[in-house]
Structures are given as C-alpha cells and as structure tokens.
Amino acid sequence: MELDIHAGYMPNQGVVETRLSEEIVNNLWTLINEAKEQPEDMNFNLKGNISSSLRLDGVSPLLEDFNQKVIPALIDEFIKEFGAPSRNAEPQQQVIDQYTNWKLDSLWVNFQNKHQFNPPHDHSGVYSFVIWMQIPTSYKEQSKLPIAGKDGFISDHSNECVSNFSFSYTDILGKTQQYIYKMEKEVEGLLVLFPSNLTHQVFPFYKSDDVRVSISGNLQTQ
C-alpha cells in the first residue's frame, strides 16, 4: 500500500536578519565614540550584568539610511513572512497598516567583558534588534573550554551556550527551545530584528580580556 504523506507546519513567528553595509557600520562606530565622550548611562534601565551600556543618539543624521531604509525594509520582510507582532492585541491589518510609521524608541550600546552576561529578558516596544559590532572571541574555541562541558543547564546542548546569544521560546509541546547565534568574527555587522517580547539572553565568554560590543534598539509605533 502506497501512502500519500505530507508534513503540516503550524504557524509561528521568527526573526529576520541582514548584514549592514560598511558605511552604516562605520557610522554606528562614530555614534559609539560620541557616546563615550559624553556618556549617558543606561545600566540602571537594563537587565544586563555587564560593564557598561550607553545611550546612543537615535536621531543623528548618521542614521538617516538606517532609519529610513534599513529598518522599514526589515519590518516589511518580517510582516510578509510572519505577520505583525503586537503586545496590545490590535487587529493584524491595523498593525500592518501602521508599519510605515515606526520610530526608533531607544538605542544603546553594550560593552561586555569576560564572565559577564545578560540574563533572560525581553524588551519594550513592538520590534527590537541587536547588532554585533565587535566579537573578540570564537565560539569554536570557547566551546572547547572545560566550563563549556555538559552541566545540565540546557540538557545536551549546554556546550552550545558558552559565549553565545540565544532566543528562547515555547514549542507546541510546551517545552522551552533555544535558537542560538554562535559568536564568531563573522557575525560582526549582522543585525537581527525580532518581536520585542521574545525572550533572549547573552551567555558569558571566558579567557579574553577584550570587550564584546553590541548595539540594541527598540521600535515603537508613532
């Protein structure tokens, strides 16, 4: 007997990503250096156990292409693939109709040293994003350290967590799953856009005295 078998996939949301141009990355570094000259501390407002978080100028002319081209294109792609996320249960079409009126609600840079981490948390707004600017370590090397061995924290995948960035979500069976971005030099300049209430965390790295630098931002409707 020949059976006609098909897989059925249940709808879910995901993330979208893009690699930023060298020009935009350079402009972001300029904003970071400007923030260091007149620092406005963000640590009091964030969950991270990291050295420093500084507010960036989200309306700087340096971000014109980023705000007017990159962000709208990412939101457009997200809505096309997954629909529109919402914290307030607005009708989908209402949120979709508003997507051209997004504003950058907050923008900041994180400086993370070895042994520091960002515990599981979510953000305000509707969309959030992360941009990795400087990765001083290699996950491939970090995963070989004794501390990265299986410790029961995430079952058989604990050694995949060391030094990495992870999204956490509940699958259809009620189990917590992880979607991990492995921190290598290649992720520098990568932007990942995700629903703001998607839980995520940053695991500590070891054996390096250099600083990991990332940018985070939240997007809200106007």
Kindly state the helix (H) or strand (E) to which residue 75 belongs, with its residue range.
helix 71-82
Check whether 86 has a pLDDT greater than 70: no
Closest CA to 182 of 153, 209, 127, 142: 142
Q: What is the mean pLDDT of residues 80-104?
A: 67
Strand partners for 53: 110
| Residue 52 tokens, joined | 């420093």
pLDDT tens for 171-219 read: 989 999 999 999 999 999 999 999 999 999 999 999 999 999 999 999 9
16-221 has which fold?
Answer: Jelly Rolls (2.60.120)
pTM for this entry: 0.89
